Structure 1
Amino acid sequence: MARIGTSGWVYPHWRGVLYHGDQRGWLDRYAAEFDVVELNGSFYRWPTDARFAAWRDRLPDGFEMAVKAPRGLTHARRLLEPEVWIGRVERGLHALAGRRGPLLVQLHPAMERDDARLDYFLSALPAWTRPVVEFRHDSWVDDAVFGILQRHGAAYCVMSGAHLPCVLRATAPLVYVRLHGPDHEHLYRGSYSDDDLAWWAERIREWEDAGHEVQAYFNNDGEGHAVRNARTLKRMLQT
């Protein structure tokens, strides 16, 4: 069964949708309903190893935390000389241990295709990190790029969102989907209709029938849309 979750979990506007009470209990409440989450705060400030270990000890068996790579690596350096960051990333992911999910590498929207840089980065990154690459520039959508990902066992991030290419491509055992909202003009806005979600449920079933593991994350957090959409998609996949 595919794992369905949300991009992040610390949203005050989810009170009444998923949360009640003090924020200290929010992760526990989230993990009681979903078995995977995408850590987005690591993009802005990379957590300490101790923080990763605390999440490991707190999360239940079978739960996975996907981790977003730091912007120092993806946006400031744009994957150049990645060794500066990879050591820190490895330590944090090791601290997550059995709760460790994939490593999401979201590239800068202005970063155009550079096959050599991508190939070098993936060569330097240990395969056990289960890398997922989200390309925000259209120039990366090419069979040669998909071939680089496939050689390294890295997943192409399938995206849904305003002005983003929706390419249904599997380059690794894992298919990783980010649903940034159905609004055609603005990212992270709107709620997916039941028809939209039924369409995605069919795609997920097709990937699973082909032998892939699938993880899908809703990133349209406003008004609790991500929670409601995740619940609906999970229910559709269980029927």
Structure 2
Amino acid sequence: MEVRVGTCGYAYMNPREFFGGDWRNRYSSILQAYATLFPVCELNSTFYRIPRLSTVERWRDEVDEVNSRFEFTVKASQQITHKIRFSKDSVNVYKQMVEICRRLKSHILLFQTPSSFRASDEDVKRMKEFFEDVDRSDLTFVWEMRGDWHQNRQLTEEVCRRFKLIPCVDPFRNEPLNFGEELAYFRLHGLGRESMYKYNFSIDELKWLKGKRGELNGKVKKVYVMFNNSEC
């Protein structure tokens, strides 16, 4: 089983801590420096704002200079999940996300739904209209659910299987879900509050996480462990 560890975003990384004050002499950007330390980054700025394709191409070029095997996963625009909420109008936004993934050579697109997006017939219908209509290309869809979905495992499994979604879970908050897929995606937010910024995981917590990852041995071929808003 392959394990790929990275962070959700990269801009908060301080290259001085790893490469010293002269890091700019070696790397053209924080992203390029990051790509020498980690094999993967979840690009989550795309959730807030859709970047120009020229910017996206620059990101790919920067990492290729130091690590041609570097991988981006991409967080889908909030226009799809939070504002238009999987309506037909969101398909055009989705097409932009597909093109971003293509330029980045990304194979994973993450959809994060808000807690107000419920485990209800109405919201399942919204997902059906979207996921059964869009062209997936060669993308794998990962879904980070909020709200009451974790309390309704049967419906969650039904939705994931029906729409071919990989459930994204923070194993410190909810039991990892796997419905026969070959890939697992952990997104770690820290312990305590629902949104814990700059959380510093202890050695014991990381050992516990390693055990949770180990429970997936023989079930999946690849696990992504992505640290979000934490001291990595």
TM-score range, shorter chain: 0.7 to 0.9
Could you say if the C-alpha distance between residues 102 and 185 of structure 1 is closer, same or farther in structure 2, counting changes exceeding 3 Å? Answer: closer
Could you say if the C-alpha distance between residues 19 and 160 of structure 1 is closer, same or farther in structure 2, counting changes exceeding 3 Å? Answer: farther
Query: Structure 1 residue 134: deviation in Å?
Result: 0.7
Could you say if the C-alpha distance between residues 183 and 56 of structure 1 is closer, same or farther in structure 2, counting changes exceeding 3 Å? Answer: same
Query: Structure 1 residue 185: deviation in Å?
Result: 5.8
Distance 1:15 1:96 in 2: 23
- Match of 1:9, as an amino acid? Y
- Match of 1:200, as an amino acid? L
Distance 1:208 1:146 in 2: 20
Instruction: Tell whether 2:216 aligns with 1:207.
Output: yes
Give CA deviations for 1:172-216 in whole Å, capped at 9, x if unaligned.
Answer: 321110000123464334211111111111221222432331101
Distance 1:188 1:78 in 2: 27
Distance 1:196 1:132 in 2: 25
Q: TM-score, normalised by structure 1?
A: 0.81
Q: What stretches of structure 1 move > 6 A for 4+ residues in a row?
A: none
Give CA deviations for 1:9-54 in whole Å, capped at 9, x if unaligned.
Answer: 0016x35434644494211211111100011111111112222222
Instruction: Tell whether 2:112 aligns with 1:102.
Output: no
**CA RMSD for the aligned pairs?**
2.2
Q: Is the 8 A contact 1:37 1:66 kept in 2?
A: yes
Gaps of 5+ in 2: none
Alignment partner for residue 183 of structure 1, among 168, 192, 195? 192
Instruction: Tell whether 2:153 aligns with 1:135.
Output: no
Instruction: Tell whether 2:17 aligns with 1:17.
Output: yes
Instruction: Tell whether 2:117 aligns with 1:111.
Output: yes
Matching of residues 1-239 of structure 1 within 5 Å = 1-11=2-12, 14-18=14-18, 20=20, 21-22=23-24, 24-59=28-63, 60-81=67-88, 82-97=90-105, 100-113=106-119, 114-125=123-134, 126=136, 128-139=138-149, 141-160=152-171, 165-171=173-179, 172-184=181-193, 186-221=195-230, 225=231, 227=232
* SS at structure 2 position matched to 1:182: coil
The count of corresponding residues between Structure 1 and Structure 2 is 217
Gaps of 5+ in 1: 228-239
Q: Is the 8 A contact 1:173 1:211 kept in 2?
A: yes
Query: Structure 1 residue 127: deviation in Å?
Result: 5.6
Q: Is the 8 A contact 2:4 2:40 kept in 1?
A: yes
Distance 2:164 2:204 in 1: 32
* SS at structure 2 position matched to 1:209: coil
Distance 1:19 1:182 in 2: 29
Distance 1:190 1:123 in 2: 38
